[in-house]
Amino acid sequence: MSNVHTISAKTTLVGLIGWPVSHSVSPAMHNAAFDALGLDWRYVPLPVDPALPGAVGDAVRGMRAMGMRGVNVTVPHKQAVLPFLDRIAAAAQAMRAVNTVVVEADGSLTGDNTDAPGFIADLRAHGVEPAGQSVLVLGAGGSARAIVYGLAQAQARHVTIANRSSERASRLLDDLRPFLGATVVEVMALPDGARTIEADLIVNCTSLGMTPHQDTTPWPHDLPLHPGQIVYDLVYNPAETLLLRQARQHGARAIGGLGMLIWQGALAFERWTGQPAPVEVMRLAAEECLRRRAADSGQQCRQQPINVRRATPDDAAVISRLHSALQAYHAEAHPSFFKQPSAHTFPPTMVRDLLEKPSTVVFLAEMGGTEIGYLYADTMPAQETTMTYSLERLWIHHISVEPGFQRQGVGRALIDAAKSYARSQGIKTLALSVWAFNQAAIRFFEAQGFVMYNHRMWLQVDGATA
Ligand SMILES: NC(=O)c1ccc[n+]([C@@H]2O[C@H](COP(=O)([O-])OP(=O)(O)OC[C@H]3O[C@@H](n4cnc5c(N)ncnc54)[C@H](OP(=O)(O)O)[C@@H]3O)[C@@H](O)[C@H]2O)c1
């Protein structure tokens, strides 16, 4: 493998043209992918000032002249590049917007749009098949155009576009009409439109909820969502939007927009390189980039303190709700094995019965007055067998932290509470079992001092008093 960090005359260049481009996670995502595959390629952000006369055309033509393999295009140039391309793929024609330019082997330029297939690929990666579904799309801007087109291509049964300005939604429908096939599409005004629709899938294509307006949501607070419904929020910064929290609180399934960003990038990567994209590598790089940016902008410094308390039977409903995050995680990792969470998975009645047992220990973690994670354990000693002594241990059955609050010390705070409890009871061992596929959990428990033995993880507690 060549040294991929050394840029030479042989290095193949791709990049991102837009204004501004400094916020983009695409360079991190693509460069990690090139490194993972040992490709001597680099992806560079290329700010193209819209105020400079002729800049967009010069940038597009210059790409061919400089032997680049292609670019991504972002706002405000997604339409402006169209006149400078030799060929426009069907998706980009329908959206009247290009997000990927490919320099073909003969030097001609093809404009494509990977947003719509990226969205559909991410839905399918989450085990959601849009064919035959009834979908409510909130918003009618550039991203809504891609989503509606993608849903029609994937043969959704019915799509309702609800936008603050219904004229903009009508324009979108008129533009997309030739591409809708058998999908029935209608338009409504937000927020009242949302009240009249019972959709299988709700997709937020508005910018409501996006940093720095994290306390906004397109979904009216008094309007219920149901278990079995899926809410997909295109907003990916923050990862956990208010809309996704609303969805979970009502038992609906919540999916954030980072996956779409990764898949649209993965599809561009494949167009340029002709190789399958290392999607997981790209995901990790994008997540890391967003985490670093949040830290740099002080978002982590503003993190509120984590408060951990012992749960009571009155907390049964909230624990039941928090459990769905754990099950959704497993269902996403192994959709053919784990079911999606439903109201019956860990119902409040079952949680209440467990909480009333003297051997049950449940800790709840709260931040800013909201419960965001829990740990459920029991203190029943393991029986003596012909091979082993009886063992006083705190057996951890579940530990779950809401997606938007992971990697912020909540899991550690819950484990610390369990350790303190064990110490106070003279219990010297914490133990748990973890699914072998769940490498992230194994790494987390190892970081807390657990060691793996016989497919279980064990932690010796220092200073137990009895
Ligand atoms: N995950 C991904 O890969 C991905 C890809 C593209 C976009 N996105 C995200 O999707 C969001 C929308 O992007 P876009 O390109 O479609 O933006 P856009 O073209 O500017 O459209 C913005 C949409 O939000 C609506 N909106 C804005 N403020 C509103 C308010 N206060 N109340 C009600 N509606 C409001 C607008 O309604 P009006 O028409 O009435 O103004 C419009 O429908 C952004 O957060 C973007 O980051 C994510």
The verdict on residue 205 lying in a domain is yes
Q: What is the mean pLDDT of residues 336-355?
A: 87
> Looking at the predicted structure, is the pLDDT value of residue 464 above 90?
no
Shared domain for 339 and 323, answered yes or no, is yes
Which atom from ligand 1 is nearest to the alpha carbon of 168? Answer: 39
Nearest CA to ligand 1 atom 18: 141
Q: Is 239 in the pocket of ligand 1 (CB under 6 A)?
A: no
The verdict on residue 298 lying in a domain is no
Nearest CA to ligand 1 atom 17: 141
Residue where a domain terminates, one of 63, 95, 113:
113
- Tokens representing 123 are 């839905």
What pLDDT sits at residue 382? 86
Shared domain for 428 and 382, answered yes or no, is yes
What pLDDT sits at residue 228? 86
Mean pLDDT for all residues in the chain? 91
The verdict on residue 270 lying in a domain is no
Q: Is 207 in the pocket of ligand 1 (CB under 6 A)?
A: yes
Backbone angles phi, psi at 448, to 5 degrees: -90, 0
Shared domain for 325 and 434, answered yes or no, is yes
Residue where a domain terminates, one of 90, 113, 136:
113
Q: Is 148 in the pocket of ligand 1 (CB under 6 A)?
A: no
Shared domain for 350 and 436, answered yes or no, is yes
Residue where a domain terminates, one of 113, 141, 171:
113
For 396-419, the pLDDT digits (tens) are: 999 999 876 777 789 999 999 999
Nearest CA to ligand 1 atom 13: 143
Q: Which amino acid does the sequence have at 57?
A: G
Q: Is 205 in the pocket of ligand 1 (CB under 6 A)?
A: yes
What pLDDT sits at residue 333? 75
What is the 205 CA–ligand 1 centroid distance (Å)?
5
Q: What is the mean pLDDT of residues 55-75?
A: 96
What pLDDT sits at residue 344? 77
The verdict on residue 276 lying in a domain is no
> Looking at the predicted structure, is the pLDDT value of residue 102 above 80?
yes
The fraction of the chain above a pLDDT of 70, given in percent, is: 96
Q: Is 165 in the pocket of ligand 1 (CB under 6 A)?
A: yes
Shared domain for 233 and 220, answered yes or no, is yes
CATH code of the domain covering residue 195: 3.40.50.720
DSSP letters for 3-60: -TTS--TT-EEEEEEESS-TT-SHHHHHHHHHHHHT--EEEEEEE--TTSTTHHHHHH
Nearest CA to ligand 1 atom 11: 207
Answer yes or no: are the C-beta atoms of 167 and 195 closer than 8 Å: no
Q: Flag the least confident range among 338-347, 355-364, 388-397.
A: 338-347
Q: What is the mean pLDDT of residues 165-194?
A: 92
The verdict on residue 412 lying in a domain is yes
Which residue in 357, 380, 368, 363 sits closest to 319, CA to CA? 363
> Looking at the predicted structure, is the pLDDT value of residue 383 above 90?
no
What is the 144 CA–ligand 1 centroid distance (Å)?
8
What is the 426 CA–ligand 1 centroid distance (Å)?
55
> Looking at the predicted structure, is the pLDDT value of residue 48 above 70?
yes
Q: What is the mean pLDDT of residues 174-185?
A: 96
Q: Flag the least confident range among 318-327, 345-354, 424-433, 442-451.
A: 318-327
Which alpha helices (H) appear in 154-278, and where do they start and end? 166-176, 192-195, 242-249, 258-273
CATH code of the domain covering residue 390: 3.40.630.30
What pLDDT sits at residue 186? 95
What pLDDT sits at residue 463? 57
- Tokens representing 90 are 């069907």
CATH code of the domain covering residue 49: 3.40.50.10860
> Looking at the predicted structure, is the pLDDT value of residue 195 above 60?
yes
Q: How far apart are CA 56 and CA 61, in angstroms?
A: 9
Shared domain for 108 and 123, answered yes or no, is no
Total count of domains within the chain: 3
For 278-323, the pLDDT digits (tens) are: 998 999 899 889 888 877 776 544 557 889 999 999 999 889 988 9
CA geometry: angle at 109 spanning 106 and 112, to 5°?
130
For 220-253, the pLDDT digits (tens) are: 988 889 888 999 999 998 888 999 999 988 888 8
Please identify every residue annotated as catalytic.
78
More confident position, 300 or 61 = 61
Shared domain for 340 and 214, answered yes or no, is no
Shared domain for 127 and 98, answered yes or no, is no
Nearest CA to ligand 1 atom 20: 141
What pLDDT sits at residue 201? 97
DSSP letters for 84-130: G-SEE-HHHHHHT--SEEEE-TTS-EEEE--HHHHHHHHHHHTT---
Q: How far apart are CA 88 and CA 153, in angstroms?
A: 17
The verdict on residue 261 lying in a domain is no
What pLDDT sits at residue 301? 42
> Looking at the predicted structure, is the pLDDT value of residue 83 above 80?
yes
Which atom from ligand 1 is nearest to the alpha carbon of 139? Answer: 43
The verdict on residue 275 lying in a domain is no
Q: Flag the least confident range among 14-18, 391-395, 451-455.
A: 451-455
What pLDDT sits at residue 465? 46
Shared domain for 241 and 167, answered yes or no, is yes
Shared domain for 108 and 219, answered yes or no, is no
Q: What is the mean pLDDT of residues 166-182?
A: 96
What pLDDT sits at residue 415? 97
The verdict on residue 152 lying in a domain is yes
What is the 109 CA–ligand 1 centroid distance (Å)?
29
Shared domain for 310 and 423, answered yes or no, is yes
Shared domain for 100 and 137, answered yes or no, is no
What pLDDT sits at residue 278? 93
Name the residue range of residue 178's domain: 116-256
What pLDDT sits at residue 76? 94
